[in-house]
Structure 1
């Protein structure tokens, strides 16, 4: 999260250089499949109860989501496993956007990857009959279904200062499901070795 906050300091030039950009990727800038998950919208003004808040709300909401993830999913993971999850989920989600969301020209943010991370973190607990984890998984699935049916709430788009790329949530969750099946992380603690 520190790296993501640091990248936010680069402002729009860094966002433009690192964001998922379909045309740039087709032109050979493959790093954008991963780095687009690490940059966020520059900011917006939120008015609440007469107070005006300025800043990078997109980044703040994603960082808050990671905090909730850590609190809900107590399994300790090594830095290597965290990195592998973020990298593979980011690449899987971006590949889903590239091949199955051709109208999406550009994308920034971590929310797609976070949908996959939540699935990976909650599923082992849900399979052990943890009612809270099961409720969270059902909420996640219901949220995805609602987004596919009704779209993103206007309040969400106003808060982050841009359009919510709902396809990223779907492809992030699908990437999390595939990852969990390939690495069998739903059933046993995950280690670094690729062959487990």
Structure 2
């Protein structure tokens, strides 16, 4: 990987980690709170950027830091757009489908979405299919396990329940976005080719 790409990926990670850390300092003002979501609309996005504590923050930032290096062909602007789109989609899903969810904090639903989006995009590339399929299968197994048996023990580590619905819906929304993107890309190729 060229040095310029390594540096740009590192910059993305640092900026996102910094934003999340700053928001974390003022966590009560930024978590997803169902009762305030329409009066403080920024919570649709920021609820996914704050965490229940600093261990939770570090775990999510570590997972995020790996992403651009595991899937280096995905551009930073794509990751940024997905961060901006998936977070509010998840918040709206909580609001309308899970009215019992009164509060939420954490990036893990968005992260699950980012990983599945990248894997689906990579699956479209012939030389990346095996790796992409491995990631897709692992994410699907994890989601299926969580839906059947519950979270994998992270709750004890972070000191808070894990909302596995966020993981599931992060994957669903990101899959819809990825398939739509590929459909559009292939349609454009046919029209131009």
- The verdict on a shared fold, with TM-score over 0.5 as the criterion, is yes
Partner of 2:142: 143
Q: Which has the higher contact order (CA 8 A, sep 6+)?
A: 1
1:22 aligns with 2:38: no
Which structure features the higher share of helix residues? 2
Check the 8 A contact 2:68/2:74 in 1, yes or no. Answer: no
User: Equivalent residues in 2 for 1:125-136 (5 A)?
Assistant: 125-129=122-126, 130-136=129-135
Count of residue pairs brought into register by the alignment: 168
Q: Alpha-carbon deviations, 1:87-125, whole Å to 9, x = none?
A: 111111111111111111110011111111101111122
Distance in 1 separating the partners of 2:103 and 2:48: 11
Secondary structure at 1:74 match in 2: coil
Q: Which piece of structure 1 moves more, 161-170 or 179-188? A: 179-188
Residue 116 of structure 2 aligns with which residue?
119
> In structure 2, what is the Cα distance between the partners aligned to 1:156 and 1:185?
36
Q: Given that residues 89 and 179 in structure 1 are in contact (C-alpha distance below 8 angstroms), is that contact kept between their aligned partners in structure 2? A: no
Superposition misfits of 4+ residues, deviation over 6 angstroms = none
| TM-score, scaled relative to structure 2 | 0.80
Give me the whole-angstrom Cα distance separating, in 1, the residues matched to 2:64 and 2:173.
17
CA RMSD of aligned residues (A): 1.9
Matched, 1:7 2:23: yes
Distance of 1:78 and 1:113 partners within structure 2: 15
| 1:96 lines up with 2:93 in the alignment | yes
For residues 83 and 185 of structure 1, do their structure 2 counterparts lie closer, same or farther at Cα, with a shift above 3 Å needed?
Answer: farther
Indicate which of 60, 63, 73 corresponds to 1:62. Answer: 60
Greater fraction of residues in strand? 1
- Deviation of 1:134 (Å): 0.8
Structure 2, unpaired ranges of 5+: 1-15, 187-193
**Residues 126-135 or 65-74, more deviating:** 126-135
> Is residue 32 of structure 2 the alignment partner of residue 35 of structure 1?
no
